[in-house]
Amino acid sequence: MILVTGATGLVGAHLTAHLLLQNKEVIALKRPNSKTENIKEILSFYTPEYNSLFNKIRFTEGDVTDIFSVLDALEGVDEVYHCAGMVSFEEKKIKELLHVNEFGTANMVNACLEKDVKQFCHVSSVATMPNHDKKPIIDETVFWKSSPENGAYAISKYNAEREVWRANEEGLAVCIVNPSVVIGAGCWGQSSSKMLDECYKGTRFYTNGSTGFVDVRDVAKSMVTLMEQKVIGKRFVINGENKKFKEVVDLLHNEFGKKLPSIEAGKFLLKAGGFLERMFAKEPRLNKQVIDALLSDTIFSNEQIKKQTGINFTPINETIHYVAEKYKNYRKSI
């Protein structure tokens, strides 16, 4: 039996689809207000038999921050994919981020140790691999260093990783994946798919930085393969391609038939936008860490995961075309 936390999120839902298509038995830990429709929609992208597959999921209500609900959910479970987590780049949400990402992960690994779970795959982020040493390529040899440049989200995800490694020392068989920017269909309006909303409306601004992007289906495939291979005590950067932000934004604007952005947003303009967001936006996003990321040229290596699993990553232009088509159908339905 397999437990998936965060199964109603983008990575968790696509992972659940992959597992169900392999006839695996899946328990999905969900909070009372989580939208299970997200999973059903994403299953429909894989197979016309999505309703019957959806009905095979055993949902159990709980929360990773509630140890008792976690212990109940783990009854009879052999493998755990821990996809649940909070994503926010608001520094004022540091306590909430630490509570969900660090404390919640500690609960998960402690409960897995108690219940004698055989394998544990943890979804982290490349945010835990800050390039303070200015290496040309970020890979698994880049380790965390304390710095005032580290944002609240990155700190919370790094602390979560520490809990996983601690559990590994205590006997839990773990592996960690560090995806770059995940692009995928479904869970519209959440996390990275907010970029689709902006491009669908059209924007005049672009930034000249670059980063890694990866298809969510490749993230799910990588995780399942690592667990099938029983890889223990390792972490893997999961990255499809390194792209300029402008290139990705241009691809999306073309898919949506919008005029391409023509105004470069440099540091001054981004800082001004961040100030206005803090004054008027409900959820400001342009803090120092985000601005630095938008202006930096960051390159991630995927050599280790390719060598381990033999995966061929989906070209990002194909991913964007596929996701944009699904997104346009979604917009027509609302």
Q: What is the pLDDT of residues 118-142, one digit of tens each?
A: 999 999 999 999 888 888 999 999 9
Contacts of 275 (CB under 8 A, 6+ apart): none
Give the strand pairing for 241-244 and 210-215: antiparallel
Residue 152 lies in a domain: yes
The count of domains in the chain is 1
Residue 322 lies in a domain: no
Res. 274: pLDDT tops 80: no
pLDDT in tens, 177-230: 999 999 999 999 887 888 999 999 999 988 989 999 999 999 999 999 999 999
pLDDT for 135 equals 87
What are the φ and ψ backbone dihedral angles of 26, each rounded to 5 degrees?
-120, 130
Contacts of 175 (CB under 8 A, 6+ apart): 119, 120, 121, 122, 226, 227, 231, 232, 233, 234, 235, 236
C-alpha span between 8 and 5 (Å, rounded):
8
pLDDT for 277 equals 62
C-alpha span between 244 and 315 (Å, rounded):
14
| Full domain range(s) for residue 105 | 2-182+215-240+299-314
Res. 284: pLDDT tops 80: no
Residue 158 lies in a domain: yes
Mean pLDDT in the chain? 93
**CA nearest 16: which of 74, 57, 75?**
57
Task: Output the DSSP codes for 95-108.
Answer: HHHIIIIIIHHHHH
Residue 261 lies in a domain: no
Bridge partners, 242 (sequence order): 212
List of long-range contacts for 83-86, beta carbons under 8 Å, 24+ apart: 83/4, 83/5, 83/6, 83/7, 83/9, 83/11, 83/12, 83/15, 83/123, 84/5, 84/6, 84/9, 84/12, 84/29, 85/6, 85/123, 85/157, 85/160, 86/156
The share of the chain scoring above pLDDT 90, in percent, equals: 79
Specify whether the CB–CB gap between 2 and 19 falls below 8 A.
yes
Residues 13-32: what's their mean pLDDT? 96
Bridge partners, 212 (sequence order): 242
Q: Give Cα separations from 214 to 126, 180, 235, 302 (angstroms).
A: 12, 6, 16, 10
**Which letter does DSSP use for residue 33 in this model?**
T
**Which letter does DSSP use for residue 138 in this model?**
B
In the numeric block, the tokens 């699904």 are attached to 326
Q: Which amino acid is at 173?
A: A
Residue 61 lies in a domain: yes
Res. 280: pLDDT tops 70: no
How many Cβ atoms are within 10 Å of 230's Cβ, its own excluded? Answer: 10
Q: Which amino acid is at 48?
A: P
Residue 280 lies in a domain: no
Q: Which CATH number fits the domain that encloses residue 229?
A: 3.40.50.720
C-alpha span between 86 and 137 (Å, rounded):
27
Residue 149 lies in a domain: yes
Residue 276 lies in a domain: no
